[in-house]
């Protein structure tokens, strides 16, 4: 069905309708790979976005990358950059001394940004701007962001949007 053209009375004949084109499934077990370095994962509530981020983090932890799960609600409240948040909150919480900036510059830091929908709508533009700044400042650092409604994400032009489908 071509949504770019206006509807026509003739479109009501089921025989004329074509099956929608379905993109082949992506294998996120290989994340990050070329073309899949910066992802926005879209899915409804209960579809497993957080579980997916946890699973990808577990796979990444087996290699040289350093995955870090970041609650976007907490990052928004902190009102700081991703690197400053990691330094001030995550390092303190986990009692570790990581050089987050160096890891990001080398492309080894992988922020797993969860729950954009949980951030108040008035705070989202500033938060998205901080994610875009991180992405521009550290182009080698892959990341994944999860969201229910893709309409609330704007300004992350270098990210690929993928949708989780129900099983």
Cα separations in angstroms, 37 against 5, 81, 140, 154, 166: 33, 20, 8, 18, 24
For residue 11, the model assigns a pLDDT of 47
Task: Report the predicted TM-score, pTM, of the whole model to 2 decimal places.
Answer: 0.81
Asked whether 140 and 107 are in contact (CB, 8 A), the reply is yes
For residue 117, the model assigns a pLDDT of 92
For residue 6, the model assigns a pLDDT of 59
For residue 2, the model assigns a pLDDT of 46
**How far is residue 68's CA from residue 166's CA, in Å, rounded to a whole number?**
26
For residue 5, the model assigns a pLDDT of 55
**How far is residue 65's CA from residue 43's CA, in Å, rounded to a whole number?**
25
Q: Name the stretches of the chain with pLDDT < 70.
A: 1-25, 91, 167
Sign of the Cα pseudo-torsion (65, 61, 39, 122, in order): negative
Nearest to 36 by CA among 134, 137, 110: 110
For residue 3, the model assigns a pLDDT of 47
Tokens standing for 92? 């303190």
For residue 19, the model assigns a pLDDT of 42
Tokens standing for 46? 């209960």
**How far is residue 84's CA from residue 82's CA, in Å, rounded to a whole number?**
6
For residue 15, the model assigns a pLDDT of 44
For residue 142, the model assigns a pLDDT of 97
Asked whether 135 and 38 are in contact (CB, 8 A), the reply is yes
**How far is residue 72's CA from residue 112's CA, in Å, rounded to a whole number?**
9
Q: Could you tell me whether strands 160-163 and 66-71 are parallel, antiparallel, or unpaired per DSSP bridges?
A: unpaired
% of residues, the chain, pLDDT over 70: 84
């Amino acid at each position: 069905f071509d949504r770019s053209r206006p509807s026509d009375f003739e479109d009501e004949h089921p025989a004329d309708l074509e099956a929608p084109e379905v993109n082949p499934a992506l294998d996120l077990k290989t994340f990050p790979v070329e073309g899949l370095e910066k992802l926005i994962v879209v899915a409804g509530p209960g579809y497993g976005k957080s579980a997916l981020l946890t699973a990808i983090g577990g796979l990444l932890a087996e290699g040289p990358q350093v995955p870090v799960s970041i609650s976007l609600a907490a990052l928004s409240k902190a009102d700081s950059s991703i690197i400053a948040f990691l330094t001030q909150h995550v390092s303190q919480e986990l009692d570790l001394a990581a050089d987050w900036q160096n890891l990001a510059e080398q492309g080894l830091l992988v922020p797993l940004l969860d729950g954009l929908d949980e951030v108040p709508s008035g705070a989202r533009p500033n938060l998205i701007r901080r994610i875009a700044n991180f992405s521009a400042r550290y182009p080698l650092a892959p990341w994944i962001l999860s969201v229910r409604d893709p309409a609330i994400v704007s300004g992350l032009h270098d990210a690929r949007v993928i949708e989780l489908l129900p099983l």
